Amino acid sequence: MDQFDYIIVGAGSAGCVLANRLTEDPNNTVLLVEAGGKDRNPLFSIPLLAGVAYWNKRSNWNYMTTPQVHLDGRQIKWPRGKILGGSSTINGMMYMRGNAADYDKWCQTGLTGWAYDDVLPYFRRSECAPERVDDFFHGNDGPLRVKKASGKNPLYADFLASGAAWGAQPNDDFNGAVQEGLGFYDFNTREGRRESSATAFLRPALTRRNLRVMTKTKVNLVRIKDDRATGLSLRRAGQNIEVGARREVILSAGVINSPQLLMLSGIGAGAELTKHGIEVIKDIPNVGRNLQDHLGVYLTYSCRDPVSLYRLFRPDRAAIAFARAYLFGTGPASAVPLEAGGFLKTRKDLDIPDIHITFVPGLNLETSRQGQGQHGYLINFYPLRPESRGSITLASSDPDAAPLIDPNYLSAEADRRCMRDGTRLARQIGETVPLVQRKAKDISPNLDDLANDSSIDAWVQAGANTIFHPVGTCRMGADILSVVDAELKVRGIKALRVVDASIMPSIVGGNTSAPTMMIAEKAADMILGRAALKKAAAI
């Protein structure tokens, strides 16, 4: 049996960071196990094709939720990356940290070391933002390239002008001192191409002799002896393999697969495990619980002027745009079509924004897949801090069987209220000059959909969809009911940690890719026994 100091399960946003940081010391041997393949498809590198990449079946777990009671019984597709880089290889590349208050809230629950002042130095350590030199909130020497959007399409300027006329303040940096306002986003792109955790962290480490990467390798379960993780049972090319960990096993398999692996290994709600014939090693009822996700809606409009992304649908223009992006990192296909937006309050009495709003100078992906057919644009928003909580549970003891995913969307009245308020707010911006002057007609919602609370609820339930930000299923906490403690150690099991978005006790107000990489940066110091970086306030 091959032995390593550390075994990391999952080469996603967190796993690639850990593989890099743990192998900086040549004395540490590390195995990185990934169920998917290599990230060599050139289409993944083109930012404009991010939406297409998200649905590529070869790089995807292709999960589906259970029927959602508050979404008209619909099952929602939940793409998750199954490839080096994980979901950071197929996502929209938006670099967003969330609100400082999100992390302070974690610390206030007893999680010492997780306040915003504690985590900001780890965001900065990862980051290379050459446009923000000598900025307190940003780093310039990290592996992860961050670039601000240029927003060349004229519809972006119209949206921002309408937002300003509505009352929104301009914001030049959503990852800086203030999150509220509208402006252009930062993205993980390098020279016009995608920057993922694989390109930023893993590729530079692949030449190290103390790192071994196994792709297309499925983990059956974590081997546990005397309440200590000792290694993994794997399956590769039809063969069962055993690998051992001298120091630690680290689960970075994501919000779905990390709790699934814990449960398959005998760690979870005892009654549920027994039902599936799994020996109970440690009864931790909250494994797989506390599932949270951002749920959004799209207000779509047809456009009077031929300035939207639809102009690229002509085959010759598309070919030229994609060739320029792939070969030179330039042109319209080198930009993610989500460049402008921001964070707003639906009620004046709120301390921090409660919705994230984004403008796209084209119609949404679902429309595009059905044949976009016309010039148009959309306004998307989602509530930032949903109160609804769902779960990941086993469907079977078979490692190849997908677990049951129930986000329990819109089960909380507060979430339904925020959806109504956000819909009205987004609609107001859409009906404000100069953006409204671009409108040919409403596509969705129409006036009947906006007549009252009930009609808005019905419109939301019929069309709302995931924003692809699931978190929380291996909750970190200071309480004994949490799955992992403040050092991300699984309670009651030695040498086993979870390091990914599943440890978030509550969802952050924004995209989750950058926060997941931050978690891995901080965890690396914990695993290696290094002192935490100095608090930002003390620097």
Q: What angle do CA 434, 295, 92 make, to 5 degrees?
A: 70
Residue 259 near residue 267 (C-beta atoms within 8 A):
no
The model's confidence at residue 10, banded by pLDDT at 50, 70 and 90, is: very high
- Calculate the CA 31 to chain-centre distance: 24
What's the pLDDT tens digit per position in 483-495? Answer: 999 999 999 999 9
pLDDT higher than threshold 50 for residue 399: yes
pLDDT higher than threshold 80 for residue 82: yes
User: Which whole-number Å values give the CA distances from 28 to 16, 19, 246, 248, 342, in the listed order?
Assistant: 15, 10, 10, 11, 42
Cα Dmax for the chain: 69
Q: CA 315, 319, 325, 326 torsion: positive or negative?
A: positive
Mean pLDDT of 407-424: 98
Q: Whole-angstrom distance between the N-terminal and C-terminal Cα of the chain?
A: 46
Residue 377's contacts (CB-CB under 8 Å, 6 or more residues apart) are 155, 159, 300, 301, 303, 308, 359, 360, 361, 362, 363, 438
The model's confidence at residue 372, banded by pLDDT at 50, 70 and 90, is: low
| Paired residues of 321 in beta bridges | none
Whose tokens are 């040549």? That residue is: 26
What is the chain's mean pLDDT, rounded? 95
For 78-96, letters b (16+ CB in 10 Å) and e give bbbbbbbbbbbbbbbbbbb
Residue 37 near residue 215 (C-beta atoms within 8 A):
yes
Of the candidates 149, 93, 98, the residue with the CA atom closest to the CA atom of residue 119: 98
Of the candidates 367, 379, 361, 368, the residue with the CA atom closest to the CA atom of residue 306: 361
What's the pLDDT tens digit per position in 189-216? Answer: 999 999 999 999 999 999 999 999 999 9
* Alpha-carbon span 4 to 212, nearest angstrom: 9
Residue 449 Rama label (left phi>0; alpha psi -120 to 50; beta)? alpha
Q: CA 427, 360, 513, 24 torsion: positive or negative?
A: negative
Classify residue 198 by its DSSP letter.
Answer: I
pLDDT higher than threshold 90 for residue 85: yes
Q: Amino acid identity of 373?
A: G
What per-residue confidence (pLDDT) applies to 538?
63
**0.95 exceeded by the pTM?**
yes
pLDDT higher than threshold 50 for residue 367: no
What's the pLDDT tens digit per position in 321-355? Answer: 888 988 888 888 888 999 999 999 999 999 999 99
Catalytic option among 70, 294, 375, 469: 469
Q: How many CA atoms lie within 13 A of 520 on its CB side?
A: 32
> Would residue 356 show up in a list of annotated catalytic residues for this protein?
no
CATH number for 1-68+77-146+188-292+469-539 (one of 3.50.50.60, 3.40.50.300, 3.30.470.30, 1.10.8.640): it is 3.50.50.60
Residue 478 near residue 485 (C-beta atoms within 8 A):
yes
* Alpha-carbon span 495 to 224, nearest angstrom: 10
* Alpha-carbon span 266 to 228, nearest angstrom: 12
pLDDT higher than threshold 80 for residue 365: no
Of the candidates 191, 190, 185, the residue with the CA atom closest to the CA atom of residue 201: 190
- The first and second tokens of residue 198, run together, are 């694989």
What per-residue confidence (pLDDT) applies to 539?
54
| Paired residues of 251 in beta bridges | 9, 498
Q: Amino acid identity of 420?
A: R
- Return the CATH class of domain 150-184+295-383+411-463: alpha beta
| Per-residue H/E/C for 216-280 | CEEEEEEEEECCEEEEEEEEECCEEEEEEEEEEEEECCHHHHHHHHHHHCCEECHHHHHHCCCCC
pLDDT higher than threshold 90 for residue 312: no
What per-residue confidence (pLDDT) applies to 375?
93
- Calculate the CA 446 to chain-centre distance: 31
Residue 335 near residue 51 (C-beta atoms within 8 A):
no
Mean pLDDT of 229-248: 97
Residue 226 Rama label (left phi>0; alpha psi -120 to 50; beta)? left
Domain boundaries, the chain: 1-68+77-146+188-292+469-539, 150-184+295-383+411-463
